[in-house]
Structure 1
Amino acid sequence: MRSRHFVRTAVLAAVAVLATACGSPATPVDLAPVSDAAWPQPANVGGPDDSAGGDTDTSCDPLKSLAPTSGTTIGTGTTMAAIRGRGKLIAGVDQTTYLFGFRNPKSGNLEGFDIDMVNQIAAAIFGQAEGHVQFRAIPSLQREQVLVDHQVDVVVRTYSITCDRRKQVQFSSVYYVAGQKILVPKTSNATSLADFSGKKVCATKKSTSLTKIATDPAKPVAVSVDNWSDCLVMLQQGQVAAVSTDDTILAGMAAQDPTVKVVGDPLTQENYGIGVPKDQEDMVRFVNGVLDQVRSSGAWAASYQNWVGSRLGPAQPPSPQYR
């Protein structure tokens, strides 16, 4: 009996020593203390140096495009004939801007006002758009480069027409007019950029919106990202105080997140055009012929009402200006 008692006592003592070495249940050992759990930033976050889309160059009349010469007739040897022979219209678009260019999570298809414009061009070339469009999702900072490099036939991506951009690419007539506003949390009382002196305001790289933020007299801190969805995430996480860009883009963000709101009067007027490679004047005239039909047939009004009307109110297609 005494021997058994001695062994039992020894075993219990050993267990107690091991338990003590592992730490008391009441005082757990903290092997990895965390003092800062900041949200990770999106890739390629920058600053005002990424502002290269501004409209400070007034050396041209940016809104005057090339007049259509033969409607949507496709002649032999034209750019449009080459596209028809290829079987696909290649279009640079957005896939992250709700209402204008976004991927429907249910169908996987790209949808939105800009996507409707691409489909109208494809239908004019091929007779129907289905099966004849190759969408290429691009960030805003690549819009000029993919046209310069002839990687796409058109860019339809909330693309504001400016004299500076016209030095590198051609533009169609204006197919949509937007205005730069501000997106803030619903708890914010801010209504203009003047309320963000020294505070971070987000926009995409090489956008006219970023230029406006970076040059505003109130001196907000311009934060640049690749895509507008990155701005919304940074606002939601408190990494920026506001997002500022076209009301069309902000309306899509507000529709996705009920905790934010669009505020203020328009800071600028943004005239959207369809980008075309610089050396393809025949394609510019063809696209303008398509846009003339889109305006007069009611297709523009139907697309606007479907995507934007309930959020931004009534609107009419802008009248084209030709040189």
Structure 2
Amino acid sequence: MKVSTFLKRAILPVTAAFMLAGCGSSDSASGSKENVLEKIEEEKVITWGVKNDTRLFGLMNTETNEVEGFDIDLARALTKEMFGEDTEVKLKEVTSKTRIQLLNGSDIDAIIATMTITDERKKEVDFSDVYFDAGQSLLVKKGSDITGVDSLGGKTVLAVKGSTSAINIREKAPEAEVLEFENYAEAFTALKQGNGDALTTDDSILYGMADEDPSFELVGGQFTEEPYGIAIKKGNEDFVEKVNEALKALKDSGEYDEIKDKWIKAN
């Protein structure tokens, strides 16, 4: 047997053993859960997932190039309450369709983006206590013959992809045609252009649209309950607890009400 052949046969098992050991180590590392709270405290940076297209809650101001709204101010207040003034606040745009994916992909640390707490979503993320009580409603052109979900038969209703609103309206008005859009801005534009008879989502968001264009109004009242929660990656109970403590502190001090009254005047 040649020496080179002998060496190859001797080296290959050893190499394979190292590779297997390396794979086992990698799998173990990938299976470990990231402690988001520790990361924030070490890096002194927190990244919130927020909406950029939702008036009153999270809307891009084209003049200042800054996102503004209730969710934004609450995120900053929570950050200060939890970590003090030295922690930097970063805001990353999310949509109803992308927010859970971005959270679980470590692009963001927490979601505060008009996100309704549901049993289905609890399978993918953990939620804080309720920070805002909303309810689904309908936005229509003033003078419309639509008065509520019972009058949607044969009508076209606009909704946003990935939202509970699209699911709910199909259950409440099965005879209506539902068109889904990527975000609220696109859906509202479609409504204004006459591409639908009504737009449905949480009343808190619809109030912002009616405030933007008074030729539209809400009808029918709330036909669902939509409690908003702050979403956090699963396995971070310590972070959820810290958020809940901070939220309670803001409510007890009256700062929460100040932020809410600043933005949600119609509620």
Q: TM-score, normalised by structure 1?
A: 0.69
Distance apart, 1:87 and its partner CA: 2.8
Indicate the residue corresponding to 1:302 in structure 2.
258
Indicate the residue corresponding to 2:45 in structure 1.
88
Q: Does 1:110 align with 2:67?
A: yes
Q: Output the CA distance in 1 between the equivalents of 2:231 and 2:129.
A: 10
Q: Does 1:98 align with 2:66?
A: no
Q: Output the CA distance in 2 between the equivalents of 1:122 and 1:200.
A: 41
Residue-by-residue CA offset, 1:215-253 (whole Å, 9 max, x unaligned): 224521111111111111000000111101111000000
Distance apart, 1:187 and its partner CA: 2.3
Indicate the residue corresponding to 1:151 in structure 2.
107
2:169 aligns with one of 213, 226, 237: 213
- 1:163-242 equivalences under 5 Å are 163-242=119-198
Indicate the residue corresponding to 1:257 in structure 2.
213
Contact persistence 1:194–1:218 (CA under 8 A): no
Distance apart, 1:79 and its partner CA: 3.4
Unaligned runs of 5+ in 1: 1-76, 313-323
Distance apart, 1:118 and its partner CA: 1.0
Distance apart, 1:84 and its partner CA: 2.7
The structure that is helix-richer by fraction is 2
Q: Output the CA distance in 2 between the equivalents of 1:216 and 1:79.
A: 39
Contact persistence 1:126–1:132 (CA under 8 A): no
- 1:26-41 equivalences under 5 Å are none
Q: Output the CA distance in 2 between the equivalents of 1:303 and 1:247.
A: 18
SS at match of 2:264: helix
Contact persistence 2:55–2:209 (CA under 8 A): yes
Q: Alignment RMSD, CA only?
A: 1.6
SS at match of 1:261: strand
Q: Output the CA distance in 2 between the equivalents of 1:191 and 1:144.
A: 34
What amino acid sits opposite 1:303 in the alignment? I
Q: Output the CA distance in 1 between the equivalents of 2:132 and 2:221.
A: 18
Contact persistence 2:37–2:236 (CA under 8 A): no
Contact persistence 1:84–1:125 (CA under 8 A): no
Q: How many residues matched?
A: 234
Distance apart, 1:198 and its partner CA: 2.2
Contact persistence 2:104–2:233 (CA under 8 A): yes
Q: Does 1:283 align with 2:249?
A: no
